[in-house]
Chain A
Amino acid sequence: MTIPNIVGAGLIVIGAGLGIGRIGGSAMDAIARQPEASGKIQTAMLIAAALIEGIGFAALFAS
């Protein structure tokens, strides 16, 4: 592991963390507004988070 690789991995983690954080935060807002739809919101949240996670991992392996 060289220094550029480590910096790149850090950047990826920051990006993915921001993305998943936003999804989670928005889902919390949505559940607070519409508690009866929490099941559907959770499913949609997990899918969106999984997509970001997939790209994040792909980038981590490339770095």
Chain B
Amino acid sequence: MTNKKLSIKITFLLLVLSIFAIGQDHSNNAEDVHGTPVEKDVKAEQKEFIDHHLKDSYDFSLFSYTNDEGEAVHIGMPLPIILFDKEDGIKMFMSSKFHHGEDIAETGGVFYKVYHNKIYKTDEAGSLDFDEHHHPTNYKPLDFSVTKNVAMILIVSALMFWLFTNLAKSYKTNNGIPTGAGRFFEPLILYIRDEIAIPNIGEKHYKRYMSHLLTIFFFVWFVNLFGLTPLGVNVTGNITVTLALALVTFFITTFTANKNYWSHIFWMPGVPKLMRIVLAPIEVLGMFIKPFALMIRLYANMVAGHVVLMSIIGLIFVFGNWMGGTLTFGLAFGLSILELLVALLQAYIFTMLSALYFGSAVEESHSDH
């Protein structure tokens, strides 16, 4: 790489980072001006902020602050909302119509309102009816919106597609030697093949599982890493995302399993007849517990990491002096480094356990038990 190219890249990186730096500065100033008079609400505000961060949202907000006139300013971009209404058909509009959940969106004479992160159909006044458990009874259209998490999944998918197709192409043009980012990713891919896939699945069958293992490893890793950036996304900390990932592993295990796998579940060879009857329900349960544990592990690890990190950053505002600020900054920095490790470790564990389950599905029967 020439020096000029490198310097352009560094300049671009610095520009991107400076955008976040400017944003950070603004919100801090606002906290100084307006945060001090409402001292008692800092903890409640923080809890609300963390809850808001952990949830999915309809717009991609980078940060928000209160300006000198006392108005809340949100910096970010709106995302498309796609609703399937039983009566009025498909509705598409941008989430800016909701004004961050404060307004009622009107589209073609139909009104929608966001209440507790869910979209309900409503009238012009935005009234909602509640049942005795304080849940709205208004009609809830089927929601196919591109939310923050969906947008992030699409971005990561596009990034991965671009990165790895380029990597594959570079082998062709450069006599089998990777270039650029490929030099970083090739050892990782080889590691997954040689240390995860082959020892767990076996020489004979590992090839057809490699695409899934590689996809899941890099997807989980990238998404975890994006969760640590100031973009403030929490994709793997959303249980539906991890459920989908675990379901794919479950389906692949179930549908590629051989006779030996099923016989180990329903009629365990090598144990007394009575034990076989006792073992069968336990093994069937185990079939579902395995992907369930995969789902919970990734989800809980990411949520726990985000909550702890944000609580520690929040301590800066609780202390409100330079000593507490410095101390918590050091703590948050150390914890961020740990989270970098956790991001990689969780991707590795997910891949490793998936490979282990695939291995059990294609294992040939042994005569020794």
Contact = CB atoms under 8 A, between A and B. Distances in A.
A37 B199 CA distance: 15
Contact of A43 (B292, B300, B301, B352): B352
Given A57-B300, A60-B300, A46 B293 contact: no
Given A46-B345, A46-B348, A57 B297 contact: yes
Interface in A31-45: 39, 43
B316 interface: no
A54 B352 contact: no
A6 to B, nearest CB: 16
Given A43-B195, A60-B300, A51 B293 contact: yes
B350 to A, nearest CB: 9
Nearest to A39: B195
B228 interface: no
A59 B298 CA distance: 15
B349 A50 contact: yes
B309 interface: no
A57 B296 contact: yes
Contact of A46 (B292, B294, B300, B352): B352
B247 interface: no
Nearest to A59: B296
Given A46-B349, A55-B293, A61 B356 contact: no
Interface string B281-317: 0000000000011101100110000000000000000
Nearest to B292: A58
Interface in B342-367: 345, 348-349, 352-353, 356
A7 B337 CA distance: 30
A47 B195 contact: no
Contact of A61 (B294, B296, B348, B349): B296
Contacts of A53: 297, 301
Contacts of A60: 300
Interface in B253-307: 292-294, 296-297, 300-301
* SS class, residues of chain A in contact with chain B: helix
A50 B292 CA distance: 13
A50 B300 contact: no
A61 B293 CA distance: 12
A58 B352 contact: no
A52 to B, nearest CB: 10
Nearest to B349: A50
Contacts of A50: 297, 349, 352-353
Contacts of B356: 47
Contacts of B301: 53, 57
Nearest to B352: A47
A61 B300 contact: yes
B197 to A, nearest CB: 13
Contact of B296 (A43, A46, A58): A58
Nearest to A49: B349
Given A46-B352, A47-B352, A58 B293 contact: yes
Contacts of A55: 293
A51 B353 CA distance: 9
A55 B296 CA distance: 9
B353 A47 contact: yes
Q: Which of A43, A57, A60, A61: most chain B CB closer than 10 A?
A: A57
Contacts of A61: 296, 300
A55 B292 CA distance: 10
B277 to A, nearest CB: 26
Contacts of B349: 46-47, 50
Contacts of B352: 43, 46-47, 50
A37 to B, nearest CB: 13
